Structure 1
Amino acid sequence: MKYVLLSMLLLPGSLAFAQSKPPALVDLANPLQGTDSTGGFSHGNTFPAIALPFPMNVWAPYTQPAKDRFYYQYRQNKIRGIRQTHQPSPWIGDYANFSLMPVFGKLAVNEEDRASDFRHETEIATPAYYSVHLDTPKATAEVTPTVRAASFRFTFEQSGEGYIVVDPFDGGPEIKISPDQRTVTGICRNNHGGVPDNFANHFVIVFDQPFTAYGTWDDFSTKAGETEISGGHCGGYLKFDVKAGEPITCKVASSFISLDQAKLNLKREIGDADFDTVKQKADATWNETFAKIKVEGGTEEEQRTFYSAFYRSVIFPHRFYELDSDETTIYQSPFDGKLHKGYLYTDTGLWDTFRASHPLYNLLFPEISTEIMQSMVAVYDQSGWLPAWSSPGHRDCMIGNHSFSLFADAWVKGIRTFDVKTAMDAMVHDANTQSPENNKSLGRDGAAFYQKSGYVPYPEYREATAKTLEFAYDDFCAAVLAKGLGRTDDMNEFAKDALNYKNVFDPEVGFVRGRKSDGTWRENFDPTEWGGPFTEGNPWQWTWSVFHDIPGLIDLLGGKDAFTKKLDGVFYTPPDVNVGTYGGMIHEMTEMVAANMGQYAHGNQPVQHMIYLYDYAGQPWKAQARAREIMTRLYQSTPDGFCGDEDTGQMSAWFVFNAMGFYPMCPGTTQYMIGSPLFDRITLSLPGDKKFVIDAKANGPQRPYIGSATLNGGSFNRTFLDHSEITKGGNVTFEMTSAPNYKWGTAEDSRPGSALEDLKK
């Protein structure tokens, strides 16, 4: 009910929006979306990320203690500083942080003492700019970003003694103040793992005016006049004789390589530019990015939700590379601690993002995907494993080998400028190698048993049935790349293993199920039981986790009628929860219950493709209705605007695709399943100056169904579009209706087939 009420409350503003000049695209995106979250209930688990697309560094205010992973919580009323952040998720944690905070009158360095009251009414947040009035020092703090640097502006309302406190947090930082150069330099080393022993983030801060005093501090005292301090938790402060209304500005940059590189990053990305110039460039970058998808029609709130989702889709993964004085890309590897040439991207969970985020990059930003593919090969070269969850190095989180999916999806969509042979060798290695004890996300947990028996047994291995399903899909992706390289033996072996999903399906209960090493099924089956052989879900959600062989899954479930009845059952079964091995309600369970869509748990990833299975079974009108329902009920641009963890862009990318009216249900293929476009017209500006237009005629809130369609003027009766049909440019037109058309897209030749069987041809 909450989501419906929010839409109704926003409607008057939507009408005004239609009658006045629309704002710039950058001003439609709301970085505060999803920030009203806690560990017990996620409305996104986001923070207001002020950054450019695919940044190295991000900037954000923080309202909680520095060590709190939910460091910006919308309901709090104090700000402790504006920090450089790289956190991909509160469940992973942050690293390489330092912050700046203005103080007035009496010096206060401890984050509790320096914290200022603030009100959201005086807070402005866009992707390119953040401003907040700090009520305690009576000052306004502003920040605007570049990829590796940022410009700050602090304006006090009173004349007197003003301070800027620099806090590099704990972990053994270093600070050096150079008064004659109006500069502070330092190193922060804080992290939550995934870094080598020599990890360091070097930063430089250059002010526009001299300090009248300065000093250092630690947790026990301040040291006036001292210029250097290191170890434990320490920092520095700068004093200014401020005049009311006259700003103090500073330029900030950092480097994971060296202080000299940080200075080079600052010179290259900001140089002599003032605050307003940096902001104008940041605005222009975001407007250019958002212009890749122009939406027309809908309400103001729907457009704000769309561009908020688009923004969230492209602030991960983070660049980890820098440019040296010769413009060569270099990086300090978090995997072997050495300096390398080339590209590296970090801070992304592939278990989440293989589904929609990376297909979105392949469609709109193939140049970024090219760098990401090269990055993954480099990770294998430096660590011996393909990445699964990097932040910035390997983290032990989630399951599957979804780098396989990224390689396959890039390959079939024409992105091939990476070392494909090494990528294939890496897949063979990871698919046949047991995970190390300290990181079960690498390789395959249960690899030997999986290769011998075709499934991962439970309880010998945690989350074994979910792993079996994900490995089977990843094997399909490996087969795709093997076929492209002409490695027939590898293709045949991986294609055979791609059928292993069948080995954990029990026809007697009609669900996937935990299976023991002796071949028998785990006892006391309950389809509402979470955990055990499953990852953050239950059989109602995981049974559909077959992307590459839907006709095979339809057969397992007894044919199209039984299959669609089972799909319907996901929504009509009460959202009851058996907490299983979790021992209590976890936030994903609570969010499923709150969404009140039966056992459909959109707040987590395993089920997010499920509605498009209706397209395979001859009932596409159900996919259309459900897509529209999920978009309008479970997404808003507000602080409570998500129905679960946003997870490094995946939940947002799901919305972006669905709002356009199609979705990459099986990455590693060139097909996009058709749903229900949210807007009247969507124009994609694609590489090569191509444009693809989606027209939804007679569209509206009560008209989610496709009555008929044309593609480039000709009759179109398929429930899928091909990647090439989009990228070469053209127009698809849907005539939208308020009642289902039971004939459109229902014929056998209108449906997609088995991607696995197509691969074998």
Structure 2
Amino acid sequence: MTPPSPPRVVACLLAALALSPATRAGEPRDLVRHVNTLQGTNSRFELTRGNTYPTCALPFGMHTWTPQTGHNGDGWKYQYHRDQIRGFQQAHQCSSWSNDYAVFSLMPVVGELVVDENARASRFRHDDEVGKPHYYRVTLENGVEVEISPTVRGAMLRFRFPPDQPAHLVLDGYLGRSKIRVDDDQDRLVGWVRNGRNQPRGFVNHFLVQFDTPVESYGAWRGGAKGVSPGQAESSGNKAGAYVTFAPGSVVQAKVASSYVSAEQAALTLDRELGRYDQLEEVKEAAAEVWNQHLAKLTVEGGPTERLETFYSCYFRASLFPRKFYERDAEGEAYYRSPYDGEVHRGYLYTDTGLWDTFRAQMPLNALLYPQMHGRYMQALLAAHRQCGWLPSWSFPGEAGSMIGNHAISLLADAWAKGIRTFDPAEALAAYDHESSHKGPWGPANGRGGADVIERIGYLPYPEFREATAKTLEYAYDDFCGYWLAKQTGDEELAEKFAKRMYNYRHVFDGQTGFMRGRDAEGGWAPNFDPIEWGGPYTEGSAWHWVWSVFHDPHGLGELLGGDDAFVEKLDAVFAAPAEFKPGTYGAPIHEMREMVLGQMGQYAHGNQPIQHMPYLYCYAGQPWKTQRWVREVMQKLYNATEDGYPGDEDQGQTSSWFVQSALGFYSVCPGVDQYVLGSPAFEKATLRLENGKRFVVEAPGNSAENVYIQAATLNGAPLDRNYLTHDEIVQGGVLRLEMGPQPNLDRGVGVDARPFSVSTADRP
């Protein structure tokens, strides 16, 4: 039974609720109840339903907490089909494929002391589990109830042990090196852990665990639970750990905080974020209020409960990345220890995001809803460049250089185009000029391998370069972003340089087959072409998926395909084609292939990023009603709020952000310009509460599962025939009204002037 909240906490909470913009008359008070943090957790290596874990954290929080069903070091740290928990982790993982870093866990053990992660695991049932952003609870088969509520850089945990048996709490330093010390006179654990990939020399996570219950005995071990030493207060080395024992039947609350800067900063953070709380309920209520205010930035009405739950569960996931990597010193000023040069710097840094995924929708959503934070992130991108010589591409927290493309420039150009001008564009352009001309020391997305070859022949040849066609396409888009930023800021020299490369997509288009293809350095096409074959010149996809990766020039792509009618015919063919694949150079089916087949939408593979924008391209060819149809079908068919909630990887908020934007009624097809392409909203009404205090409302009267087509549109009462909104139109506030119906309006939005941006037809700077 949960003890009642102290009266002073209730009074403060009610006062906060009375003033909160999320709880004014007629507005929802408890949006967090709609979130299921177990959405997408029924994932395996072979088939992904999201590859998520039940994150307990605050928006963009530095640390998160989660139950652990997998072995230490297993990227699938929580899988819904498993029935044992082996620990409760402080976690930072942004992808199962990249694993985690700076991890440690706490696990309650009853009776005989067992520290081995396999032997100490306890069974549980999902019926005894609650997964919310502000609160996680589970009752284990060993009789212990575990609760967690988060702060930005810490958490409070509570362990209710059963009576009449010894009560142990095991701290596991995970994989890698750690140092753990028991301060029994202060009833606390202190130490540091160093684990994970891509960590610079000297990088550690300092932690402090403060108990409110006296420790009766303790001990330590090292080397993976070998040689447990009762009474030993300290352990260090690889796979080290410690334990503390309490009286039988104890109810133990643990305040936890950690820091990448120092042990002293961890103690300061614990006092600042948790010092005023005596009971977990206080942290829980404060965290719920933070989430309710955050989620109330977007309120939706007029849809089934299932869709409401899907929307807020996706919005929750979209609100976790990028994570804050900065801390607050004694004066409250932001600072951080850089994962790039190991030094302490003033200012802001963010991490745990792969830009190949998130440049498409997650980062544009942040730019729209949180421009202050996003502006700081732009500063952080350039700070990282100053510290290591390269723009980030895939950071967790050190640079991995994973996937392809140089997409930091997409974020910078997009921010500038949308009025977020917190950085020096000349510095950004110089950084990108270097990035796009040299290969960096890390993975394929760090710098640009083959830049000299591209300069000479206009594309990367295959098979000389792995995934050459996909890279050529994404480099062309990035060069557009560099061009557009340079043009907006008056750097004609760099604008001209990048402009020469932004049309390179044309060099890998084969007019005979109608696809982007691999070709060798002499211009010959790769033999034995089959559009359903994955890999080779493509990244995690086939020719069906990569032909659409011309974000900045859909008009130009349409011209290559033969004009509007041929463009639409090709788009239609994606959904009409059989859901078949050939593994190609992968040698065997990978999960993305299986997920495409499972979706049963032809060659449309929404579970991976390259094709996610494709349904919106009908708006560039005069048939916007087909965008409306397919966007709604994707939302309805491929998303839900359950453990099976995603059609593939939920990569650092990107797949969730696609749903959030699309459910509002628009999508960022080409980040870097100030437009959002109209689709078909999922609700009768959606309200965006913007950071500048204004509201933008999307009204869709008559909206339903059948009424997916826009019959007529007005913006602030004036007729709107075009198929896009500008960023300024949204952030200035107003009302977009979309009359919905069951049949397409074949006359609305069909003119050339109604089409969104393409660089080959642009006539404005």
TM-score by length of 2: 0.95
Name the residue aligned to 1:64: 70
Q: Do the aligned partners of 1:380 and 1:426 also contact (CA within 8 Å) in 2? A: yes
Alignment of 1:304-703 (within 5 A): 304-436=309-441, 438-703=442-707
Deviation at 1:401, TM superposition (A): 0.5
Name the residue aligned to 2:38: 32
Structure 2 residue 240 is the aligned partner of structure 1 residue 234: yes
Q: Specify whether residues 204 and 753 from structure 1 end up closer, same or farther in structure 2 by C-alpha distance, changes over 3 A only.
A: closer
Alignment of 1:188-203 (within 5 A): 188-191=193-196, 193-203=197-207
Name the residue aligned to 2:8: none
Deviation at 1:757, TM superposition (A): 4.0
Given residue 67 of structure 2, which amino acid in structure 1 is its aligned partner? P
1:260 & 1:612 partners in 2: Cα distance?
51
2:134 & 2:684 partners in 1: Cα distance?
28
Q: Which moved more, 1:223-232 or 1:620-629?
A: 223-232
- 1:229-274 deviation per Cα after TM superposition (whole angstroms, max 9, x unaligned): 111212111111133xx62101000011111011111111111312
Q: Do the aligned partners of 1:510 and 1:557 also contact (CA within 8 Å) in 2? A: yes
What secondary structure is seen at the aligned counterpart in 2 of 1:111? coil
Q: Do the aligned partners of 1:44 and 1:645 also contact (CA within 8 Å) in 2? A: yes
Name the residue aligned to 1:6: none
Given residue 654 of structure 2, which amino acid in structure 1 is its aligned partner? Q
Name the residue aligned to 1:149: 154
Q: Do the aligned partners of 2:552 and 2:757 also contact (CA within 8 Å) in 1? A: no
Given residue 25 of structure 1, which amino acid in structure 2 is its aligned partner? L
* Correspondence for 2:135 among 126, 129, 144: 129
Q: Do the aligned partners of 2:73 and 2:175 also contact (CA within 8 Å) in 1? A: no
1:544 & 1:422 partners in 2: Cα distance?
31
Q: Do the aligned partners of 1:197 and 1:337 also contact (CA within 8 Å) in 2? A: yes
Given residue 601 of structure 2, which amino acid in structure 1 is its aligned partner? M
Given residue 275 of structure 2, which amino acid in structure 1 is its aligned partner? G
Q: Which moved more, 1:748-757 or 1:546-555?
A: 748-757
* Correspondence for 1:303 among 284, 299, 308: 308
Q: Do the aligned partners of 2:668 and 2:676 also contact (CA within 8 Å) in 1? A: yes
- 1:62-97 deviation per Cα after TM superposition (whole angstroms, max 9, x unaligned): 111112110101011111110001111011010100
CA RMSD of aligned residues (A): 1.3
Structure 2 residue 299 is the aligned partner of structure 1 residue 294: yes
Given residue 68 of structure 2, which amino acid in structure 1 is its aligned partner? Y
Q: Specify whether residues 677 and 252 from structure 1 end up closer, same or farther in structure 2 by C-alpha distance, changes over 3 A only.
A: same
Alignment of 1:205-220 (within 5 A): 205-218=209-222, 219-220=225-226
Name the residue aligned to 2:16: none
Q: Specify whether residues 258 and 756 from structure 1 end up closer, same or farther in structure 2 by C-alpha distance, changes over 3 A only.
A: farther
- 1:406-431 deviation per Cα after TM superposition (whole angstroms, max 9, x unaligned): 00100001111123221111011011
Q: Do the aligned partners of 1:434 and 1:448 also contact (CA within 8 Å) in 2? A: no
1:296 & 1:55 partners in 2: Cα distance?
28
Q: Which moved more, 1:712-721 or 1:673-682?
A: 712-721
What secondary structure is seen at the aligned counterpart in 2 of 1:87? coil
Deviation at 1:110, TM superposition (A): 0.9
Deviation at 1:156, TM superposition (A): 2.0
Deviation at 1:212, TM superposition (A): 1.0
Given residue 308 of structure 1, which amino acid in structure 2 is its aligned partner? S
- 1:578-634 deviation per Cα after TM superposition (whole angstroms, max 9, x unaligned): 211111101111110111111110000000000111001000010000000000000
Name the residue aligned to 2:23: none
2:545 & 2:432 partners in 1: Cα distance?
27
Given residue 383 of structure 1, which amino acid in structure 2 is its aligned partner? C
- 1:213-241 deviation per Cα after TM superposition (whole angstroms, max 9, x unaligned): 11112321221111111112121111111
Deviation at 1:23, TM superposition (A): 7.6
Given residue 724 of structure 1, which amino acid in structure 2 is its aligned partner? D
1:752 & 1:659 partners in 2: Cα distance?
19
1:322 & 1:688 partners in 2: Cα distance?
25
Q: Which moved more, 1:381-390 or 1:415-424?
A: 415-424
2:141 & 2:425 partners in 1: Cα distance?
56
Given residue 563 of structure 2, which amino acid in structure 1 is its aligned partner? G
2:449 & 2:530 partners in 1: Cα distance?
25
2:640 & 2:654 partners in 1: Cα distance?
16
1:223 & 1:194 partners in 2: Cα distance?
33
Name the residue aligned to 1:270: 274
Deviation at 1:756, TM superposition (A): 4.9
Q: Which moved more, 1:354-363 or 1:330-339?
A: 330-339
Given residue 226 of structure 1, which amino acid in structure 2 is its aligned partner? Q
* Correspondence for 2:50 among 44, 52, 69: 44
Q: Do the aligned partners of 1:476 and 1:756 also contact (CA within 8 Å) in 2? A: no
2:139 & 2:60 partners in 1: Cα distance?
28
Q: Do the aligned partners of 2:675 and 2:757 also contact (CA within 8 Å) in 1? A: no
Structure 2 residue 159 is the aligned partner of structure 1 residue 117: no
Deviation at 1:755, TM superposition (A): 3.3
Q: Do the aligned partners of 1:194 and 1:334 also contact (CA within 8 Å) in 2? A: no
Given residue 656 of structure 1, which amino acid in structure 2 is its aligned partner? V
2:591 & 2:354 partners in 1: Cα distance?
19
Given residue 308 of structure 2, which amino acid in structure 1 is its aligned partner? Q
Deviation at 1:22, TM superposition (A): 7.7
What secondary structure is seen at the aligned counterpart in 2 of 1:521? coil
2:131 & 2:158 partners in 1: Cα distance?
15
Structure 2 residue 167 is the aligned partner of structure 1 residue 162: yes
2:233 & 2:757 partners in 1: Cα distance?
68
Structure 2 residue 230 is the aligned partner of structure 1 residue 224: yes
Given residue 230 of structure 1, which amino acid in structure 2 is its aligned partner? S
Deviation at 1:335, TM superposition (A): 1.1
Deviation at 1:526, TM superposition (A): 1.0
1:95 & 1:698 partners in 2: Cα distance?
48
Q: Specify whether residues 759 and 170 from structure 1 end up closer, same or farther in structure 2 by C-alpha distance, changes over 3 A only.
A: farther
1:448 & 1:399 partners in 2: Cα distance?
17
Question: Matched residue pairs, number?
Answer: 736
2:40 & 2:187 partners in 1: Cα distance?
38
1:328 & 1:642 partners in 2: Cα distance?
39
1:127 & 1:702 partners in 2: Cα distance?
33
Given residue 136 of structure 2, which amino acid in structure 1 is its aligned partner? Y
1:707 & 1:582 partners in 2: Cα distance?
45
Name the residue aligned to 1:250: 254
Q: Do the aligned partners of 1:432 and 1:451 also contact (CA within 8 Å) in 2? A: no
Given residue 175 of structure 1, which amino acid in structure 2 is its aligned partner? I
What secondary structure is seen at the aligned counterpart in 1 of 2:281? helix
- 1:447-486 deviation per Cα after TM superposition (whole angstroms, max 9, x unaligned): 1111121111111110000000000000010012112221
2:156 & 2:31 partners in 1: Cα distance?
22
What secondary structure is seen at the aligned counterpart in 2 of 1:745? coil
Q: How much identity, in percent, do the aligned residues show?
A: 50
Unpaired runs of 5+ residues, structure 2, are: 1-26
2:366 & 2:166 partners in 1: Cα distance?
49
Deviation at 1:183, TM superposition (A): 1.1
What secondary structure is seen at the aligned counterpart in 2 of 1:725? helix
